């Protein structure tokens, strides 16, 4: 199932080039009093939600092209990120001073560099666009496979990891180049784009063999396959969950391949991941 969020918070099922409004199914979600849960309530109740969606009477569909797509996960508790998880991207960071800024920590392989977090306030959907800050510095795109966690897990072994996945989406890890900590440079509002929808895990048997690519204004910049991940999806879940509990709705963006390059206000990004789809994202000045 391909689940999207759009407009003012509607829930949709993507069917071909159309989106069917299934917002009525959200009534299966529990109501809460403060304090609210710190995980994503929709993802935590995904099985019940899907069952309700399948019971709904036929609803109106509208063309996907006519809706403004939001992040398919509204309230992730955390956005976990793999910094250098493709060998050729590590090579280009080591080779280009503009990317590494002479900081050895930015040139370390993932086993040394570990993981980092993007602020959840940086999260948007493709229809909301990217608002660039620090325009005197280089802002780069990074296209990544995004994994949405479906079940609470701590110390999850690789063999159980895929069973913890709710689904997959495309992630853009927008980055201001510079010397500061990654979490600062990668966390301005709109610097995490998730979309165009959530493809539930049952539709993707092997996340370790998916083409991914990105173009800017029609010009291809990155083109690789998740088989080149240094730590694949099961390894990342094992690694992340050895440091912190993973909760439903947590997002892991798995790292970007080689070809990162600058973006500027006015650009249009088109990102693709096999078995997920394509999302177009406009870039503006903040
Ligand atoms: Mn990244």
CA 80–ligand 1 middle distance (angstroms) = 10
Same domain as 182, residue 59: no
Same domain as 139, residue 47: no
CA 122–ligand 1 middle distance (angstroms) = 14
- Tell me what pLDDT residue 138 has: 96
CA 132–ligand 1 middle distance (angstroms) = 16
Backbone φ/ψ region at 114: left (φ over 0), alpha (ψ -120 to 50), beta: left
Number of domains in the chain: 2
CATH number at residue 124: 3.90.850.10
Residue written as token pair 């879940």 = 237
d(CA 63, CA 12): 11
What token pair was written down for 93?
């960071």
Nearest CA among 126, 79, 123, 83 for reference residue 270:
126
β-strand partners of 251: 79, 148
CA 225–ligand 1 middle distance (angstroms) = 15
CA 157–ligand 1 middle distance (angstroms) = 24
Residues 6+ positions from 201 with CB-CB distance below 8 Å: 150, 162, 165, 166, 167, 168
- Tell me what pLDDT residue 92 has: 84
- Domain assignment present for residue 73? The answer is no
- Tell me what pLDDT residue 112 has: 85
Same domain as 232, residue 263: yes
CA 61–ligand 1 middle distance (angstroms) = 35
CA 115–ligand 1 middle distance (angstroms) = 10
Q: How many CA atoms lie within 13 A of 280 on its CB side?
A: 10
CA 173–ligand 1 middle distance (angstroms) = 5
CA 17–ligand 1 middle distance (angstroms) = 29
- Domain assignment present for residue 27? The answer is yes
Same domain as 39, residue 137: no
CA 27–ligand 1 middle distance (angstroms) = 35
Nearest CA among 1, 3, 19 for reference residue 67:
19
Contact between 201 and 162 (Cβ < 8 Å): yes
Same domain as 26, residue 163: no
Residues 6+ positions from 93 with CB-CB distance below 8 Å: 84, 99, 100, 106, 107
CA 160–ligand 1 middle distance (angstroms) = 25
- Tell me what pLDDT residue 106 has: 72
CA 255–ligand 1 middle distance (angstroms) = 5
Predicted confidence pLDDT, tens digits, the chain (286 residues): 999 999 999 999 999 999 999 999 999 999 999 999 999 999 999 999 999 999 999 888 999 999 999 999 999 999 999 998 998 888 888 888 888 887 776 777 788 889 999 999 999 999 999 999 999 999 999 999 999 999 999 999 999 999 999 999 999 999 999 999 999 999 999 999 999 999 999 999 999 999 999 999 999 999 999 999 999 999 999 999 999 999 999 999 999 999 999 999 999 999 999 999 999 999 999 9
- Tell me what pLDDT residue 90 has: 82
Same domain as 83, residue 63: no
CA 60–ligand 1 middle distance (angstroms) = 37
Cα-only R_g, the chain: 18
Say what the pTM is: 0.96
Contact between 84 and 108 (Cβ < 8 Å): yes
Same domain as 149, residue 128: yes
Same domain as 93, residue 216: yes
Print the domain residue range for 195: 79-285
CA 275–ligand 1 middle distance (angstroms) = 20
Same domain as 265, residue 161: yes
Same domain as 235, residue 134: yes
- Tell me what pLDDT residue 97 has: 83
Same domain as 20, residue 120: no
Same domain as 133, residue 60: no
């Amino acid at each position: 199932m391909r689940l999207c969020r759009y407009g003012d918070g509607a829930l949709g099922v993507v069917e071909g080039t159309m989106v069917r409004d299934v917002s009525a199914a959200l009534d299966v979600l529990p109501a809460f009093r403060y304090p609210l849960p710190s995980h994503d309530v929709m993802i935590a109740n995904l099985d019940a939600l899907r069952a309700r969606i399948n019971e709904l009477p036929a609803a109106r569909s509208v063309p996907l092209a006519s809706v403004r797509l939001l992040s398919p996960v509204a309230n992730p508790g955390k956005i976990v990120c793999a910094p250098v998880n493709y060998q050729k991207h590590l090579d280009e960071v080591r080779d280009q001073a503009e990317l590494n800024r002479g900081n050895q920590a930015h040139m370390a392989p993932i086993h040394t560099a570990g993981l980092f977090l993007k602020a959840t306030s940086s999260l948007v959907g493709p229809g909301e666009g990217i608002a660039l800050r620090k325009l005197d510095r280089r802002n780069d795109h990074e296209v990544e496979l995004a994994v949405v966690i479906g079940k609470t897990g701590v110390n999850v072994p690789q063999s159980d990891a895929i069973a913890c996945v709710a689904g997959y989406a495309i992630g853009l890890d927008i980055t201001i180049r510079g010397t500061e900590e990654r979490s600062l440079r990668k966390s301005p509002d709109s610097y995490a784009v998730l979309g165009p929808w959530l493809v539930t895990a049952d539709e993707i048997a092997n996340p370790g063999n998916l083409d991914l690519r990105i173009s800017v204004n029609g010009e291809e910049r990155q083109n690789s396959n998740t088989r080149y991940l240094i730590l694949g999806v099961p390894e990342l879940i094992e690694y992340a969950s050895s440091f912190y509990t993973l909760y439903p709705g947590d997002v892991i963006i798995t790292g970007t391949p080689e070809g990162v390059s600058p973006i500027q206000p006015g650009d249009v990004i088109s990102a693709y991941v096999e078995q997920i789809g394509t999302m177009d994202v406009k870039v503006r000045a903040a």
